[in-house]
């Protein structure tokens, strides 16, 4: 799953499974800031990151999470895509 649109949908699927019920139109999903939305507590956020690592086969570091850009679905999808490209 290396297509960015597929990664965005995969991220949203995981967020919805974790209880994030925000309805976001497809064209606006990249801008969605899942950290500011505060629908995931700190434990759920760590579990969400673990799910991302398992689904996409990449490691997401604390440094990655420290970058505010990666708090949006778009930023996180670009991060994952870049890590997938390096591993290919």
Tell how far CA 70 is from the center of its chain: 8
Domain that holds residue 23: 4-87
The predicted structure's pLDDT at residue 58: 96
The average pLDDT across 2-9 equals: 88
Q: Per-residue pLDDT tens for 60-82?
A: 998 998 899 999 999 999 999 99
The predicted structure's pLDDT at residue 2: 67
CATH number, domain of 76, equals 1.10.1200
Q: Per-residue pLDDT tens for 21-43?
A: 776 777 788 999 998 988 788 89
Number of domains in the chain: 1
Q: How many CB atoms lie within 10 A of CB 4?
A: 14
Residue 17 pLDDT exceeds 80 = yes
The predicted structure's pLDDT at residue 10: 94
């Amino acid at each position: 799953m290396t297509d960015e649109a597929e990664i965005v949908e995969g991220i949203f699927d995981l967020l919805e499974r974790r209880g994030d019920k925000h309805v976001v139109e497809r064209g606006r999903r990249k801008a969605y800031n899942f950290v500011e939305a505060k629908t995931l507590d700190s434990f759920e956020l760590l579990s969400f990151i673990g799910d991302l690592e398992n689904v996409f086969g990449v490691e997401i570091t604390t440094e990655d999470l420290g970058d505010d850009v990666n708090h949006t679905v778009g930023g996180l999808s670009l991060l994952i895509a870049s890590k997938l490209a390096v591993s290919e």
